[in-house]
Homo-oligomer: A and B are copies of this chain.
Amino acid sequence: MPYQDHSPAEIDQMMQAAREAFPVFRNTTLKQRADLMRAIARELEAGGDELIRTAMRETNLPEARLKNERARTQFQLTSYAEACEAGHWLEARIDTAVPEKGDPDVRKLQVALGPVVVFGASNFPFAYSTAGGDTASALAAGCPVIVKAHPAHAATSELVAEGIRRAVAAAGLPAGVFAHVHGVSNEIGKTLVTHPYTRAVGFTGSYGGGKALFDWANQRKEPIPVFAEMGSINPVFLLPGKLKASAKELAGQLAGSVTLGTGQFCTNPGLILGIEGEELNIFIKELGDAIEKSAPGTMLHPGIARAYGEKRQAALSQSSVETVAVAATAPAANQGVPTIASAKAEAFFKNPLLHQEVFGPYSLVIRCADGDELVKAARHLEGQLTTSLMATDEDLKKHPALVEAAQDICGRLILNGVPTGVRVSLSMQHGGPFPATTDSRFTSVGADGIKRWVRPLAYQSWSDALLPDALKDANPLGIWRMVNNQLTRDRI
């Protein structure tokens, strides 16, 4: 490894610096924070080809994908900066005094929690790593950020961290606003999550990793929130009318989604469910043909390739599972081979192994006997990031119980679309019931992600001159506020 693990003493120093920077940083204006975020976006751009080449070398991801991901990361920073300045996330509420009832003046807004620890993801070296969505949203909230770099792309992370440090310094802010931790050992994660100054944690990765952080955080003397995104098999339900009308088209769409980025997305469709019959057979045949023609891809790092090989093999070796298709081209070292398998619903109900995520270009088609089994399967599923219904409006009307069940298990319900591709927008929900994430009430994509790092603070009978600008009578920030239960931008 090019970087030594940071020691507990070094981490403690970083946390001390973050704690000291916090009162300064939370008292910056919204514009100052937005400017910092825009400066970090420019630093990503300034990283130029060196940044892309470093990421290519470390992750095996192709140049075009990495350039796209960098642009997406810049968009996250600049769009969350805009949201930061617009101030809706402050949820400013004012109830003026009603002396005759003895009601005091009370005003509330969201305030930063304190130092936030972010664990970079292996599969998004930019968008969910050092300057990714968690970092951007925590900075918007006014929280210092301590990033734990993913060791699989430590050099890329270090280049990005240097850019953030330059932006922080140029803004005249304390260096403690941002820190960057290298490490391979799990102990480093524990040190960060259990540090008394850590106030919240963001994580994208495996169930085992996220659940360990969650448990450490809850066992602290003072528990803290952990927002861990821990994987999902993103079920896709094929309803009869739609399947009849478009079996081939659906097969093509899903083949593309299963193999996109060598299947290394948390939104990869790992489970496809339909009702047995001629149309489903056509769909399976077409999907299999497309997968046979697809090419194996080099995975992010040897550990991921090995895990894919093992989990894929474990699934295929179940007696109830039949292999439908495997890419015809033989895989090279560390490549993931696109694979489609199939099983009956009754096997799926009995065998929990078939519910597990196989992280890579793999999907399992479940053949249900009828619509009731489709609903039963939906109710049987654990929490998911997404659920897709491939359905005509007529299908949806005929299967209300499936629509109900689908809502219960996911954070994003997609009609006639594949789960891969996550729009960065305020309306996005990237999060879902446990075990997809540890907290279904928050999103890690879109400006609502800022809400993870704040809590409400009410000021009672406070002097106007000493109130935060967001709550002053004159509304100097010009933000929308709830004043005596009415939404308004007016001054009081």
A459 to B427, CA, bound (A): 9
Asked if A482 and B88 sit within 8 Å, CB to CB, the answer is yes
A455 contacts B by Cβ under 8 Å = yes
Asked if A460 and B413 sit within 8 Å, CB to CB, the answer is yes
A485 to B426, CA, bound (A): 7
Other A-B pairs beyond A95-B423, A396-B463, A427-B482, 4, CB < 8 Å: A108-B429, A218-B218, A223-B434, A413-B459
Q: Within the complex, which residue of B106, B415, B448, B463 is in contact with A456, where a contact is CB–CB below 8 Å?
A: B448
A480 contacts B by Cβ under 8 Å = yes
Q: Which of A50-71 contact B (CB under 8 A)?
A: none
Instruction: List B contacts of A466 (CB < 8 A).
Output: 393, 396, 403
A412 contacts B by Cβ under 8 Å = yes
A63 to B460, CA, bound (A): 29
A225 contacts B by Cβ under 8 Å = yes
Interface of A is mostly: mixed
Distance between A339 CB and nearest chain B CB, rounded to angstroms: 27
A487 contacts B by Cβ under 8 Å = yes
Instruction: List B contacts of A427 (CB < 8 A).
Output: 93-95, 106-108, 458, 482
Instruction: List B contacts of A103 (CB < 8 A).
Output: 423, 425
Asked if B106 and A425 sit within 8 Å, CB to CB, the answer is yes
A428 contacts B by Cβ under 8 Å = yes
Given A95-B427, A423-B95, A423-B106, the answer on whether A461 and B416 have CB atoms closer than 8 Å is: yes
Give the interface residue-count category, chain A: 35 or more
Interface string of A105-136 (1 = CB under 8 A from B): 01110010110000000000000000000000
Instruction: List B contacts of A442 (CB < 8 A).
Output: 456
A9 contacts B by Cβ under 8 Å = no
A396 to B459, CA, bound (A): 14
Instruction: List B contacts of A113 (CB < 8 A).
Output: 440
Asked if B438 and A223 sit within 8 Å, CB to CB, the answer is yes
Given A23-B404, A103-B423, the answer on whether A214 and B223 have CB atoms closer than 8 Å is: yes
A176 contacts B by Cβ under 8 Å = no
Give the nearest-CB partner of A404 in chain B.
Answer: B23
Q: Within the complex, which residue of B404, B417, B429 is in contact with A457, where a contact is CB–CB below 8 Å?
A: B429
A25 to B31, CA, bound (A): 43
A396 to B464, CA, bound (A): 13
Instruction: List B contacts of A1 (CB < 8 A).
Output: none
Distance between A275 CB and nearest chain B CB, rounded to angstroms: 21
Q: Which of A189-247 contact B (CB under 8 A)?
A: 214-215, 218, 222-223, 225
Asked if A414 and B461 sit within 8 Å, CB to CB, the answer is yes
Instruction: List B contacts of A408 (CB < 8 A).
Output: 114
Distance between A371 CB and nearest chain B CB, rounded to angstroms: 17
Instruction: List B contacts of A407 (CB < 8 A).
Output: 111, 457
- Those 9 A-B pairs whose CB atoms lie nearest each other, nearest first: A429-B458, A93-B427, A95-B425, A106-B427, A95-B427, A414-B460, A412-B458, A440-B455, A108-B427
Give the nearest-CB partner of A83 in chain B.
Answer: B485
Asked if B95 and A463 sit within 8 Å, CB to CB, the answer is no
A478 contacts B by Cβ under 8 Å = no
Distance between A344 CB and nearest chain B CB, rounded to angstroms: 26
Give the nearest-CB partner of A440 in chain B.
Answer: B455
Cross-chain pairs A/B with CB under 8 angstroms, 21 sampled: A83-B485, A93-B426, A93-B448, A95-B425, A95-B428, A104-B417, A106-B412, A106-B423, A108-B427, A108-B428, A108-B429, A114-B408, A222-B434, A223-B434, A393-B465, A396-B466, A403-B466, A413-B460, A428-B458, A431-B456, A442-B456
Give the nearest-CB partner of A396 in chain B.
Answer: B466
A443 contacts B by Cβ under 8 Å = yes
